Structure 1
């Protein structure tokens, strides 16, 4: 009997436990309270298009386009028709080839209708839209065409220039070491090995009385740069996107009495004199040829097997000549190359 009473009590407790909450009802909602004071408005954001217009405004783009029209890159004067469509050459001789190379890594496909460089040759899609994000297609260290020349880091945006302005051939004694060398009519670095000259590598470093400077120590690499000298603020038809070296930039760095040319310390005069001596020596040795058309002389390597030092001398002559700075890019390196090359030929 007692057990039955206990069970009944437990059942009653269970029923009360589940039914009690349902009996508790929420009362009616009270009247709404007064709204609180509005908070302070946040600072207005900048219109997204304003960021773009900082660089892409009509005036800014017109200025850059006018500057760029002054450059040989814009005119396509550098063998676009000849080399712009050729596999292996197109990467640097046409807009299409450069974009293929920098975006896809392709370097061996011909281009059907090559065209000259334009804004989008060097500039791709922005990544951050902040600071100095100029959307340059390449800023990483240059991968050398000639592996033997080693790493080439011109620092940041200068590496874009170095991608094309580098040697395409190794100096003879690195190409095929030996006592002799079989030259072709293209025994030279290429027509635009400025990066190698600036870094101080890739030429035939024939031993001689003048020591070669340590690679990468040229003041025009460590204290200046491709961009700093060639793309300084556009002034007096120089700099900016014309890529014409800025004398103002030179004078700002060198100080003293402003110069009206690039012949600081007579470096260009001295280089030209030594180049002339070397050319005449190579002509006398019969390892280069001379052609005159309409009163203009031109010179080329002469194909054939020659002593190694003569092949190296030919390589250095054309490499320095085609650098076109007459020693300005790296005065100490050029002095060592020319002095030691002439000494070797005169032994």
Structure 2
């Protein structure tokens, strides 16, 4: 019996193996295309196209990863606790991709971006936020389409901006529509502006509107005053590609430029330094530069101080003046009318009439300039004029 059945079993096994190798079963359902599966893969793409064991002299993926780890996109985006639907669209890779897939719809208060959901497993804003290399087969940006910047100023229209490669940055580096009430541009004798939140400002992404400058709804422009922009706002080399022109230039070392987005940085010895490769491009500045002390066309506004130094120094002055009048507290937040505790629905900060409007404007400008984070460099003339006029107003009785 053993001599008969052993060959029989071998024959059955061979037939089964042949069937498995020679036939295909029915196609399965489409694969998952969430971020966990990297949005699928372009037909014909090979891992070795980008991931190779030799020195990468084409895409510099590993170098860019190292640069990114020095950026605020990596360590400063608070992705872990800003993963709710109103925040995740800019604070997480997953939320940003949701917006990108919907072609970056306009902001809708109070949900801000209706296409974004809470991210329970968030990751910081990284490579796959701005790029989709597996599905595209290259490192092009997800989009370079023009961007609509929401206006935080009542009566001033939203602004459409086209800065080429920098447009993808401006999808987040713009004001948020979740702050209320919007800053007014005029008020009658009995009109009021009632603030019920200690964080009365259009979030921290005001860089786009600071860059656009005068008349675009960024800062509060005091009636009767004149406002100008610095050359950054009109210089062709910058306006063609926006933020990357200065923030993503070739690094001078692994601590700046590129995907670190850093111009100012700390050296290995802990001293502050600046990557001025973007400043010294053709058509821009020439020679060596001391960024902190650079005066340029703003000298008549600063009394000879460098614009960067001036903005930092006098922003502190404006903050002190606002605190002296009980408008700001020691935490840098808005006080209610009692002058001692945070503004809230039960303790609002109320500004009345034309004079109140000017005080509210000074408060608004304080946050606008502070949250721009460039020390005036993005648009020095505009920032300094807003700052000077705000200080002048707050020094009045």
1:335 aligns with 2:375: no
1:281 to 317, 321, 334: 321
Would you say the 8 A contact 1:73–1:116 is kept in 2? yes
Query: 1:316 aligns to what SS in structure 2?
Result: helix
Would you say the 8 A contact 1:92–1:98 is kept in 2? yes
Structure 1 residue 274: Cα displacement = 2.3
Query: 1:111 aligns to what SS in structure 2?
Result: coil
Would you say the 8 A contact 2:230–2:379 is kept in 1? no
Distance 1:121 1:134 in 2: 12
- Higher share in helix: 1
2:99 to 88, 98, 101: 101
Gaps of 5+ in 2: 1-43, 106-113, 264-274, 296-305, 336-342, 344-348
1:92 aligns with 2:110: no
Would you say the 8 A contact 1:238–1:247 is kept in 2? no
1:248 to 274, 277, 283: 277
Structure 1 residue 260: Cα displacement = 4.5
Distance 1:116 1:110 in 2: 14
Would you say the 8 A contact 1:313–1:341 is kept in 2? yes
Counterpart for residue 203 of structure 1: 219
Aligned residues: 288
Counterpart for residue 234 of structure 1: 251
Counterpart for residue 27 of structure 1: none
RMSD of equivalent CA atoms: 3.2
Would you say the 8 A contact 2:146–2:163 is kept in 1? yes
Distance 1:55 1:284 in 2: 61
Distance 1:157 1:257, change over 3 A: closer
2:291 to 261, 279, 285: 261
Distance 1:288 1:50 in 2: 55
Q: Deviations over 1:299-340 (max 9, x none)?
A: 112221122222221111011011111100001111221122
Distance 1:209 1:172, change over 3 A: closer
Distance 1:149 1:78, change over 3 A: farther
1:324 aligns with 2:373: yes
Q: Deviations over 1:130-165 (max 9, x none)?
A: xxx743122111122448452231411101111001
Would you say the 8 A contact 1:86–1:109 is kept in 2? yes
More divergent stretch after superposition (232-241 vs 133-142): 133-142
Distance 1:112 1:317 in 2: 35
More divergent stretch after superposition (275-284 vs 103-112): 103-112
Gaps of 5+ in 1: 1-46, 292-298
Distance 1:54 1:225 in 2: 30
Would you say the 8 A contact 1:208–1:343 is kept in 2? no
Counterpart for residue 36 of structure 2: none
Counterpart for residue 157 of structure 1: 165
Would you say the 8 A contact 1:145–1:168 is kept in 2? yes
1:189 aligns with 2:194: no
Distance 1:290 1:314 in 2: 15
Counterpart for residue 167 of structure 1: 175
Superposed, 1:1-347 pairs within 5 Å as 52-53=49-50, 59=56, 60-75=60-75, 77-83=76-82, 85-104=83-102, 106-125=114-133, 134-146=139-151, 148-169=156-177, 171-173=182-184, 179-183=191-195, 184-200=197-213, 201=216, 202-213=218-229, 217-219=233-235, 221-222=238-239, 225-236=242-253, 237-245=255-263, 246-252=275-281, 254-265=284-295, 266-291=306-331, 299-302=332-335, 303=343, 304-306=349-351, 307-347=356-396
Structure 1 residue 197: Cα displacement = 0.7
Distance 2:311 2:47 in 1: 50
Structure 1 residue 212: Cα displacement = 3.7
Query: 1:152 aligns to what SS in structure 2?
Result: strand
Query: 2:317 aligns to what SS in structure 1?
Result: helix
Counterpart for residue 16 of structure 2: none
Q: Deviations over 1:8-61 (max 9, x none)?
A: xxxxxxxxxxxxxxxxxxxxxxxxxxxxxxxxxxxxxxx986994599976221
Counterpart for residue 6 of structure 1: none
Structure having the higher Rg = 1
Query: 1:198 aligns to what SS in structure 2?
Result: helix
